[in-house]
Amino acid sequence: MIVAANLKANHTRSSVKSYLDAVSSFIGENDIKTRAVVFPPATALCPSRGNITVGAQNAWAAENGSFTGEIGSEQLDEFGIRTLLVGHSERRHIMGEGLDTTKRKFDFFAEQEYEIFFCVGEPIEIKEAGFDAVMTYIERQLDGVDLNYSRLILAYEPVWAIGTGKAATSGDILSVHSAIKGFCDKPLLYGGSVKIENAGEILSLEGVDGALVGTASWISDRFCALLNIADNIEKGLGQ
């Protein structure tokens, strides 16, 4: 199981350091086997710890160059970052990143053998159009992405569930995850308003291999609690 914290535009260099210290101690002291991944903002990138993978929320598909406001693989290399989030819905829908850009990023970083957390998920109007529309939308987001790539991790994150406090229902998650698993056997995380109150139920679902968490991960104690819930499920101790 994987539980990943997407810190988005929250935290500073110094608070990320304290955050990672706290999470790392918690994992060590509680013998947590669930894999912890943290995506800090670009200004707070730092090397992974033994028990926490640090990844980047975004990078441009280039080693370096004239890409104002972006970072490339050279800046990731400085910290030994080998894990990248691609296609997050905020990049797609707020920053206007289109299918071509996400695909270009996937191709560039896959070529360099980065671990890629690739996010898919539908906006509310597609959800309202029904399950077939949802799957057509997701398949389009994955069009041209090499689903056999060895370091690919998928995250299903319905746009309407992100940052709203209202997660998808277990039924919604089960049906989308089982459809995705039908054509891709990579680890598949769910994201969208995962929190301490619903993590046990969501992480116990068939076809859910972990969670990508935003809001509920920003305080280290809460992220630790989520890791603990996942770990208990993984160890068969129940929710």
For residues 151 and 70, give the distance between their C-alpha atoms in angstroms, rounded to a whole number.
23
Q: Which residue stretch of 105-113, 187-195, 198-206, 229-237 sits at the interface with ligand PGA (rule: CB under 6 A)?
A: 187-195
Neighbouring residues of 55: CB distance < 8 A, sequence distance ≥ 6: 4, 37, 38, 39, 81, 83, 84, 85, 115, 117
Min dist CB 55 to ligand PGA, Å, is 12
157 among known catalytic residues: yes
For residues 173 and 156, give the distance between their C-alpha atoms in angstroms, rounded to a whole number.
8
Q: Does 192 bind ligand PGA (CB under 6 A)?
A: yes
Beta strands in 96-177 (DSSP E): 115-120, 152-156
Q: Does 97 bind ligand PGA (CB under 6 A)?
A: no
Min dist CB 191 to ligand PGA, Å, is 4
Q: Does 55 bind ligand PGA (CB under 6 A)?
A: no
Count of residues near ligand PGA by CB under 6 A: 13
Do 1 and 35 form a contact (C-beta atoms < 8 A)? yes
DSSP 218: S
Token pair 């041209």 is at which residue?
A: 144
Q: Pick one of 213, 224, 226, 233: the residue that binds ligand PGA (CB under 6 A).
A: 213
Restricting to residues 219-238, name those near ligand PGA by CB under 6 A: none
Q: Does 162 bind ligand PGA (CB under 6 A)?
A: yes
For residues 147 and 177, give the distance between their C-alpha atoms in angstroms, rounded to a whole number.
15
177 among known catalytic residues: no
Q: Pick one of 83, 193, 220, 228: the residue that binds ligand PGA (CB under 6 A).
A: 193
In the complex, which residues of this chain contact ligand PGA (CB under 6 A)? 6, 157, 162-163, 191-194, 212-216
